[in-house]
Amino acid sequence: MKLHNFNSGPSILPQSVLEEASRAILNFNETGLSILEIGHRTPWFQEVLQEAKDSVIQLMQLDDSYEVLFLHGGATTQFMQVPMNLLDEGETAAYCDNGIWGKKAAKEATHFGKVMVVSDSSDRKHTYIPKDFTVPTDAKYLHITSNNTVEGTQWHRFPDVGVPLVADMSSDIFSRPVDFSRFSLIYAGAQKNMGAAGVNLVVVKKEILGRIQRKIPTIMDYQKHIEAGSLMNTPPVFAVYVSMLTLRWILAEGGLAEMEKRSLEKASLLYNTIDSLPVFHAPVVPEDRSWMNAVFFLTNPELESPFLDLCKNEGMIGVKGYRTIGGVRVSMYNALPFESVALFCDLMKDFASRNS
């Protein structure tokens, strides 16, 4: 039975990336060594790291005022590393609380300065993204989560603010063309659209750094990582390599415009199917629905377990909703083929016909 991988993360990777990475584990670029055992300061890995950085700049269409870093720790580490580098004690940062990850990011920032939550969608269980909010002019930055993996919402138009814009793009990075130059700092865990778990991408505009008075631990200082070229300590070599292969695949497939086209096709099919079947309902307002993570529920809660059992039996992997939310979550990252979504929709229709 063919499996269809809808996991929210770590998630599906392109088949060609898996094949190339598996070959490299045994023999990397005919060196006779595994990618798992090459030195991180060798020319071999330097080429991998440079291609990964160059691909990020190419996809984001950024100039040399930005720096690309591949760091340890995942996106959660950035919840503290961002304010540690950008926010002095007594200063204020603005945060959007549109779900669990935005809330956690705001909480971590309180250890370094003042936090003002300027957008909060908890009044409607995070089923929408408030657009009408004001950011204090003295805020050091505004932090948003571009796609809320757990709740299934996504920013489709980014706020226009007069302060530096910081975004956690972990779950929708490289899924669509964006004017990335509007952002002063972007970070993303790799395990959704960009590669295997174990590495975190940080893209930062250099002019926003070095403005605070606090002493920053060396390993947490963006400027020190820039000076060291992401090699301050041993990087996650294999994870960086898989990210490089995935970025190469995105470029070869047609870049971000093509990724967006495919995302829209998959998301439109799934949401249209949900809306057409009274057995299911999606609580997120249509204009804020995520193209990456569709969250929906069974109208009759007693049907949830039978539906999830059916999905499991039919090879639909990873569709159970987040543990605190419940319901169903279908993640449609770049590498997920349209065929998987189409078959899932057929399964939904069959289930609905037998349980309407």
Q: Which positions are annotated as active-site residues?
A: 101, 168, 192
Closest CA to 153 of 317, 255, 295: 295
Q: Is the dihedral of CA 120, 125, 126, 129 positive or negative?
A: negative
Amino acid letter for position 41: R
d(CA 60, CA 181): 8
- ω into 10 cis (within 30 of 0): yes
Cβ–Cβ < 8 Å for 240, 81 = no
Cβ–Cβ < 8 Å for 83, 67 = no
Backbone torsion region of residue 327, taken as left when φ is above 0, otherwise alpha when ψ lies between -120 and 50, otherwise beta: left
Instruction: Extract the runs of DSSP E, i.e. beta strands, from the chain.
Output: 4-5, 66-71, 92-97, 114-120, 142-145, 147-148, 153-154, 165-168, 185-189, 200-205, 280-281, 293-298, 316-317, 328-331
3 state DSSP class of 87: coil
Cβ–Cβ < 8 Å for 85, 216 = yes
Residues 6+ apart with CB under 8 A from 269: 338, 341, 342, 345
